[in-house]
A = this chain, B = another copy of it.
Amino acid sequence: MNKHTILSILISLAIGTSVFSQKEEKQDSIMLKKLFDASLLNGKSYEWLEYLSNEIGSRLSGSLGAEKAVQYTKEQLEALGLDKVWLQPVMVPRWTRGAKEYAYIETSPGNTTTTNICALGGSVATNSLGLKAQVVEVKDFEELKALGEEKIKGKIVFFNRPMQANLIWTGAAYGGAVNQRYSGAKEAAKYGAVGVIVRSMTTRQDDYPHTGVMSYGDTPKDKQIPACAISTNGANYLSSTLKLQPDLLFYFKQSCKTHPDVKSYNVIGEIKGSTYPDKIMVVGGHLDSWDLGDGSQDDGAGVVQSMEVLRLFKLLNYKPKHTIRVVLFMNEENGSRGAKKYADEAKLKNENHIFALESDAGGFTPRGFSFDCDNKNFNQILSWKPLFKPYLIHYFEKGGSGADVSKLKKDSGIVLAGLRPDSQRYFDYHHTAIDTMDAVNKRELELGAFTMASLVYLIDKYGVQ
């Protein structure tokens, strides 16, 4: 056969399949419209998020807020009349920020300018009088290494490599800058630095410092140095002032502390599958948040959207063939203990997970999903694109899924997915004091829930290869 004949055959097969499946497609299109209408006219995600954000507030692992959120979401899931709702115990780290951090730039004795900082999650405190030292600005670990102990010892290292603005997905820009935050202290300590300041992870120019997890790796306790984030405006000011006066002093004080691990929970609810009760599909987000704001976008949005998926199915009286679970993971932000626990127990019980979808990129207008799966499953998913087109959902690409559900990865027989909302505003709020309810638009949040429910419905109907 020549290539044209092969193409002809492929095309006629495609046409055949297409005629055959028109009826199914029509049914699916009707179901998606029902989910859309229910989510936008009769949704509950926004109301839940208002409670989480405004009545409970921040939910750092081990905090009272986190425990309140466990109780609240469990009660709300119970009220949906699911087949089963339960708590899965998990030991989580507990880190507290203590008194509000304080910092200033001193260009001569008494001549100081305060600047906005916050401790990075997991950092040690300064001593109770604070820390004052000269500052060395670097862009990356290579520059740090090149300067070496001679230039670094006794000084504060200032990591000031901005997130790249000319990337369409801001998450990619974050990925390209976040090693400064995560490993900056560990790397700087190697050369005798006494502290670390990290430019906040955002492309926005403003006065809000962004916290987030950092790690000392295997740095011995007595070599661990305090690490803070500085706002982007503060970073620019510090950098330009350093150019004029390289020997300026930076002072900061923070009283954060790591405590022993405490018990917390993943919150889980499920609708039992009518045909394949032993095949499990997961939809989830993480219940914990950073402590500065309310965690409305990160990841209150993902929590309420995941709950809404099951609520929409109940509301429309849709009986899934597979068991569908909502999992609200604890401790994504600083340990991922909840995700590990869930995956470990699933393995232990020999549970068969065929699909897991995560929403942890904010409650913004959904654009589609990224997938971690084999080609056979991916091609099946691509065949559903026309169903999503009327809702402007267009992004279906291979790529990561999410920090929590990726722990369920196995060699075959599972599709992992991550909701991909529009990412332009995410790092305006991420890990800051302004990640609050007014950063969330009701329609955008509800569209995300609808989009997730639609994918869950299609996977449930057509299964996984």
A interface, CB within 8 angstroms of B: 4-5, 7-9, 11-12, 36-37, 40-41, 165-166, 168, 170, 203-204, 365, 367, 390-392, 394-395, 422, 424-425, 428, 441-444, 447
A394 / chain B contacts, CB cutoff of 8 Å = 392, 394-395
A170 / chain B contacts, CB cutoff of 8 Å = 443
Query: Complex formed: what's the CA distance from A165 to B12 in Å?
Result: 41
Query: Complex formed: what's the CA distance from A422 to B185 in Å?
Result: 40
Query: Complex formed: what's the CA distance from A424 to B12 in Å?
Result: 40
A166 / chain B contacts, CB cutoff of 8 Å = 36-37, 40-41
Residues B7 and A365 in contact, CB atoms below 8 Å apart? no
Query: Complex formed: what's the CA distance from A452 to B247 in Å?
Result: 47
A391 / chain B contacts, CB cutoff of 8 Å = 168
Instruction: Please pick, from B8, B168, B392, B424, the residue contacting A390 in the complex, using a CB distance under 8 A.
Output: B168
Query: Complex formed: what's the CA distance from A8 to B12 in Å?
Result: 11
With A5-B8, A12-B4, A166-B40 as known contacts, state yes or no: A392 contacts B365, CB within 8 Å: no
Residues B41 and A165 in contact, CB atoms below 8 Å apart? yes
How near does chain B come to A212, taking the closest CB pair, in angstroms?
20
Query: Complex formed: what's the CA distance from A26 to B298 in Å?
Result: 39
Query: Complex formed: what's the CA distance from A264 to B166 in Å?
Result: 39
Query: Complex formed: what's the CA distance from A394 to B367 in Å?
Result: 10
Identify whether the interface residues of A are mostly helix, strand, loop, or mixed: helix
Residues A168 and B41 in contact, CB atoms below 8 Å apart? no
A390 / chain B contacts, CB cutoff of 8 Å = 168
Instruction: Please pick, from B8, B425, B443, the residue contacting A4 in the complex, using a CB distance under 8 A.
Output: B8
Q: Give the oligomeric copy count.
A: 2
Query: Complex formed: what's the CA distance from A395 to B395 in Å?
Result: 12
Residues A40 and B165 in contact, CB atoms below 8 Å apart? yes
Assuming A365-B424, A425-B444, A428-B441, what are 10 further A-B pairs, CB within 8 angstroms? A4-B9, A4-B12, A7-B11, A36-B168, A165-B443, A168-B391, A203-B443, A394-B395, A422-B422, A425-B443
How near does chain B come to A274, taking the closest CB pair, in angstroms?
28
Residues B447 and A424 in contact, CB atoms below 8 Å apart? yes
Greatest chain B CB density within 10 A among A166, A425, A447 is at A166
A365 / chain B contacts, CB cutoff of 8 Å = 365, 422, 424
A-B pairs with beta carbons under 8 Å apart, 16 shown: A4-B8, A7-B8, A8-B8, A36-B166, A40-B166, A41-B165, A41-B166, A165-B443, A170-B443, A204-B442, A365-B365, A365-B424, A424-B444, A424-B447, A425-B443, A428-B441
Query: Complex formed: what's the CA distance from A9 to B2 in Å?
Result: 13
How near does chain B come to A320, taking the closest CB pair, in angstroms?
23
Residues A441 and B422 in contact, CB atoms below 8 Å apart? no
Chain B minimum-CB-distance residue to A204? B442
Instruction: Please pick, from B40, B367, B443, the residue contacting A392 in the complex, using a CB distance under 8 A.
Output: B367
Query: Complex formed: what's the CA distance from A395 to B444 in Å?
Result: 18
A203 / chain B contacts, CB cutoff of 8 Å = 443
Instruction: Please pick, from B7, B12, B424, the residue contacting A443 in the complex, using a CB distance under 8 A.
Output: B424
A441 / chain B contacts, CB cutoff of 8 Å = 424-425, 428
Query: Complex formed: what's the CA distance from A314 to B4 in Å?
Result: 47
Query: Complex formed: what's the CA distance from A390 to B169 in Å?
Result: 10
How near does chain B come to A94, taking the closest CB pair, in angstroms?
35
How near does chain B come to A394, taking the closest CB pair, in angstroms?
4
Chain B minimum-CB-distance residue to A367? B392
How near does chain B come to A315, taking the closest CB pair, in angstroms?
14
How near does chain B come to A440, taking the closest CB pair, in angstroms?
11
Query: Complex formed: what's the CA distance from A394 to B166 in Å?
Result: 19
Instruction: Please pick, from B4, B165, B204, B425, the residue contacting A11 in the complex, using a CB distance under 8 A.
Output: B4
Query: Complex formed: what's the CA distance from A8 to B166 in Å?
Result: 41
Query: Complex formed: what's the CA distance from A442 to B204 in Å?
Result: 8
A444 / chain B contacts, CB cutoff of 8 Å = 424-425
Query: Complex formed: what's the CA distance from A441 to B4 in Å?
Result: 50
Query: Complex formed: what's the CA distance from A447 to B203 in Å?
Result: 14
Query: Complex formed: what's the CA distance from A362 to B364 in Å?
Result: 16
A9 / chain B contacts, CB cutoff of 8 Å = 4
3 shortest A-B CB distances, which residue pairs?
A4-B8, A394-B394, A424-B443
How near does chain B come to A289, taking the closest CB pair, in angstroms?
22
